[in-house]
Amino acid sequence: MSGDEAAVEGPLHGYHHETYVVPLPGEQVRWKCREPRPGLLWFDRRCFASEEEVLGALQGRIAGIPDLIAVAPTRLQRFIEGETLGARYGSGSRIPSSLFGQIVSLFGQLALVKPDSLAAERTCTSDDRAAEGDTAGFLERLVLFTERRVYQRNMHRFDGLFRDLNLRPASFRNLRRHVSGLTPRPFCLLHADLHRENFVVDGAGRLWTIDWELAMFGDPLYDLATHLYLMRYPEDQERRMTERWCETVEGVAPGSSAGWETDLPKLLAYKRAQSVFTDVIRTALSLTEEPEVDERLLVRAGGGLQQVLHAATEPLGIESPTVEDVTTSLEKWYFKSYTPVGGKRRP
Mean pLDDT of the 116-135 span: 91
Q: Which pTM value belongs to this model?
A: 0.93
Q: How far apart are CA 249 and CA 252, in angstroms?
A: 5
Q: How far apart are CA 102 and CA 107, in angstroms?
A: 9
Mean pLDDT of the 252-270 span: 98
Query: Of 231, 257, 283, which one is at a domain's C-terminal end?
Result: 257
**Which pLDDT value is given to residue 339?**
56
Judge whether 105 lies within some domain: yes
- How many residues are recorded in the chain? 347
347 in the same domain as 215: no
Query: Of 207, 236, 257, which one is at a domain's C-terminal end?
Result: 257
Question: DSSP secondary structure string, 76-92?
Answer: EEEPPPSEEHHHHS-TT
Q: Amino acid identity, residue 182?
A: L
Query: Of 197, 223, 257, which one is at a domain's C-terminal end?
Result: 257
Burial of 314 (0-12, 13-18, 19+ CB in 10 A): middle
User: Where is 284: in which H helix or E strand?
Assistant: helix 260-288
Range of the domain at 122: 59-64+81-132+188-257
Question: DSSP secondary structure string, 310-347?
Answer: HHTHHHHT-PPPPHHHHHHHHHHHHHHH---TTSPPP-
161 in the same domain as 121: no
Q: How far apart are CA 55 and CA 277, in angstroms?
A: 30
pLDDT tens for each residue of 192-247: 999 999 999 999 999 999 999 999 999 999 999 999 999 999 999 999 999 999 99
322 in the same domain as 193: no
Burial 281-306 (b: 16+ CB within 10 A, else e): bebbeebeeeeebeeebbbebbeebb
pLDDT tens for each residue of 165-189: 999 999 999 999 999 999 999 999 9
252 in the same domain as 199: yes
**Which pLDDT value is given to residue 112?**
98
- CA dist 219 → 134, 152, 184, 187 (Å): 8, 26, 8, 5
